[in-house]
Structure 1
């Protein structure tokens, strides 16, 4: 690992940190250290980073703004690539928006809405980056990224950059091909939106934001929805009917405000959250004979 870090630093690709606590980089404020955390400052430097990782044969994964993630207390082996500044360009050309993978999703929705473009109102309250949103097909309020992504530029593990179309990304509920079949980093996305009436678009976006503010516990560190909805049922409804609202393990608590959220009340560990998740799964299975699965991505040692 020492040789890899030396090469990354000498390549001047951006910020390189060793043993960086990932609790500093996740919205849940939980997570042990990454062996190495790299924040490339350009697409070229991201590619150089991947080439160096491949050369040294170490494990890697990418993160954006750290939402929808639960990182192990023992941290992550290898290199964590964080997309942010330098990978957050934005270009608007009529109804076509080209945006970097490190661009914040909420900021994008706000900027685009003010320009009278419709299609991203659903994402006005979703934390995270555009790259992460493409990766997991983030969605809310009856829509998701699959409705607006025309194509995405992906950096694959072998160092190649390739544009994948909407169809090739194989979007489904909270899923894309990038999660398992073709692991890669979403460097850039081209979105196809529609012209609309600015006041109407702003009103819808504000309604969505107000709803999330009123019903979801953003005053506590959390990772967003913990469980996928086992349609036609809803995870939050099943958890609430099981009288689990407010139930806690250590510093992790099922939100009193929304039952599909687990919040960090101040000193929660990943183990607390995992034990709470296991308890919810067991309870739902016993009470309703329904298997529920996590939406939050659980990573690390």
Structure 2
């Protein structure tokens, strides 16, 4: 993901040109494009279907000094209640996949984790079934180095051979070492102007039946331990969070509430606002400060209007 801000240009002129590159929607409600179901309208939302279209959209926004934001499935973000004053570029239609051989696969960043895993099973490939429960894209999983958790030592970065990126000027390829994968971290956290285009992964041989059973086990665990019935953005903090500071749950601000047993998870009961989510997250952070503990590192990101 990335945000580019510069001086504003004429909206009508920009959107006319962008609509010639790819599908474009004006005043698109951003609540429809994030798992928290929060956010006002984007001035424009672009849906490139190929990497070439994507690069053309980004290049035009840069040359036109127009604010833009790249998103995948929106599972770790909360848009502002006023929306976004610029172009939101959604990668969900960039989902081409190529099976190089019986253990290597190249996939574009916009494919969902679920679709990717199921297509791999059709070719007797597996090894990332623990990501089936993550409601994001492959690009998002690479950005976060998504996995099952530090205690299990299972992360997508372990499967990466290389990652294709757009660095703001050129398309280039990074090795797995270049990506600096760590627990829920990667080099992309430090280079927000780098955009993940696609990734080459090495998979293990697995039968479709084995894969289906691993998915069943994962979803059984998730449904028993996570709160997925209401709109949410998953884990709020990726590190430094102390559950013991919150013996009295749930916490609530307006229509944003935590579950009864986990203050590192926030839910939208319906009609919630970004400002309510921000207030609750800041309350949790303040409780850490009061107890002389470092502020936990956020996994979610609040995206301002501009």
Matched, 1:42 2:46: no
Using structure 2 for the length normalisation, give the TM-score: 0.88
Using structure 1 for the length normalisation, give the TM-score: 0.89
| Matches of 1:43 and 1:177, distance apart in 2 | 21
Residue deviations 1:231-252 (CA, integer Å, cap 9, x gap)? xxxx3xx335512432110010
Contact persistence 1:244–1:259 (CA under 8 A): no
Bigger mean CA offset, 178-187 vs 211-220: 178-187
User: Which residue number in structure 1 is paired with residue 257 of structure 2?
Assistant: 253
| Matches of 2:183 and 2:43, distance apart in 1 | 32
Aligned residue pairs total 291
Offset of residue 112 of structure 1: 2.2
Would the alpha carbon gap of residues 44 and 197 (structure 1) be closer, same or farther in structure 2, given more than 3 Å must change? closer
Would the alpha carbon gap of residues 241 and 54 (structure 1) be closer, same or farther in structure 2, given more than 3 Å must change? closer
Structure 1: runs of 5 or more not aligned: none
Structure 2: runs of 5 or more not aligned: 1-10
| Pick aligned residue for 1:145 from 115, 131, 156 | 156
Matched, 1:7 2:11: no
| Pick aligned residue for 2:287 from 283, 286, 293 | 283
Matched, 1:225 2:235: yes
User: Which residue number in structure 1 is paired with residue 90 of structure 2?
Assistant: 82
| Matches of 1:244 and 1:72, distance apart in 2 | 29
Secondary structure of the residue aligned to 1:163 is strand
Contact persistence 1:239–1:280 (CA under 8 A): no
Contact persistence 1:154–1:162 (CA under 8 A): yes
Contact persistence 2:36–2:267 (CA under 8 A): yes
Contact persistence 1:244–1:254 (CA under 8 A): no
Offset of residue 216 of structure 1: 1.1
| Pick aligned residue for 1:105 from 104, 109, 113 | 113
| Pick aligned residue for 1:299 from 290, 298, 303 | 303
Matched, 1:91 2:98: yes
| Pick aligned residue for 2:41 from 17, 33, 36 | 33
Would the alpha carbon gap of residues 229 and 182 (structure 1) be closer, same or farther in structure 2, given more than 3 Å must change? closer
Contact persistence 1:225–1:295 (CA under 8 A): yes
